[in-house]
Amino acid sequence: MKEVPTTEEEGEIAMREVRVLQLAKHVNIVNLLEAYKSQSGRLYLVFEYVERTLLQELKANRSGMPPAAVKSITWQLLQALSYLHRKQIIHRDVKPSNILLTEGGVVKICDFGFARACVNAPSDPAYTTYVVTRWYRPPEVLVGDTYGPPVDVWALGCIFAEMLAGRPLFPGRNHHDQLWLILKCLGTMTERQLELLDSDPQFACFRLPTMSEVEPLEQRLGNISAPAMQVLRACLNPDPKQRASADELLAMPYFHGIADVLPLEELLAYPPAPE
C-alpha cells in the first residue's frame, strides 16, 4: 500500500499515476489493485506485492549480474516500454529502484508519478525538463529540448550497461557533470542540442570534451558481447530521432533465442519463499 501525502502537488502526482495505471495493464507493469480516499482525505494506492527491486539486485552484484539474467530483465523491460509507447505513454523515470522483480521471475515497472500520455504528439515543448533521475537522463532533457518516448529507451540503455558492469554508466554529480560524462563517452550531440547548449546561460562555462578525453563505450565495457554492444549503442544514440524504439531493440540479434533462457528466479538464485 502507498499512502500519498495531502499536499496539492503530491496529490496531483498520485492522481496522474492512478490515471496512467488504469490505462496500462500489462504483465510487466505493476498492477494497481485499488485507489481510495480515507475520511481524512488521504489518498491510498494499493498495489500487488512484489518482493525485490532491481536496485537491490545491483547492490548484490557489484561485478555485474549474470549475463542471462541481464538479457531476461532487459527483454521484459522492453516488452513493458513497447506496450506503454504504443499507448502513447512515457514513463519518464525508468531507474533501478522503479523496476520490481518477483520471486517468480517477472519484471515489473512501477512508480508512474512522472508518467505522461502524449496523445497529440510524441514530444511537446510544454513538458517539464525535471524528469528522469539524473543518472538516467538523456541529452535532450539535459539541454532543455523537446522529448518523447526515446527518453525511456535512453534510461533503459543506462540500466542495461549498469547490470552488465555492476556500476552506473553515467553517475553525474550535478547537471553539468552528467552532460560531461555522456559527452566524454559518446563524444557528440546533435546540432540542435549544441545550439541549445550555447544559448543556455547555465552552460556558459561548460567545456566540451576534447577528442583525447573521449573514452568510448567499447573501451569502458570491453568485456561485453558484440550483440549486447549493438543494443547499448542503439539505446544511447544522442539523437532521439535516431535512437532505436523498444520494438526495434526487441528484434535485434541479442534477443534471439530468448525463449531458451532459464527462468529469472533460477538465474538470480532467489531464496525459497517462506512457508
Give the torsion sign (CA, 106, 47, 33, 31).
negative
- Residue 76 CA to residue 29 CA, distance in Å, equals 10
Q: What is the pLDDT of residue 245?
A: 98
- Is residue 267 a contact partner of residue 72, using CB atoms and an 8 Å limit? yes
Give, in order, the Cα–Cα distances in Å from 265 to each of 52, 69, 103, 125, 234.
11, 9, 6, 42, 28
Measuring CA to CA, how many Å separate 171 from each of 44, 54, 168, 174, 238?
A: 33, 17, 6, 9, 17
Give the start-to-end residue ranges of the domains of the chain.
51-267
Closest CA to 64 of 156, 164, 161: 164
Active site includes 93? yes
pLDDT confidence of residue 255: 95
CB 238 within 8 A of CB 188: yes
Report field, pTM of the whole predicted structure over 0.85: yes
User: How confident is the model at residue 275, as a pLDDT?
Assistant: 37
Rounded to whole angstroms, the Cα distance separating 244 from 247 reads 8
Fold of 51-267: Transferase(Phosphotransferase); domain 1 (1.10.510)
Model pLDDT, residue 270: 47
Q: What are phi and psi of 52, to 5 degrees?
A: -135, 165
DSSP letter, residue 263 = P
For the chain, the helix, strand and coil percentages under 3-state DSSP, each to the nearest 5: 45, 10, 45
Are 46 and 30 a contacting pair, CB within 8 Å?
A: no
Question: Per-10-residue mean pLDDT for the chain, 275 residues long?
Answer: 62 81 92 85 87 95 94 96 96 96 93 79 49 90 95 98 96 94 93 94 90 90 92 97 98 88 60 41
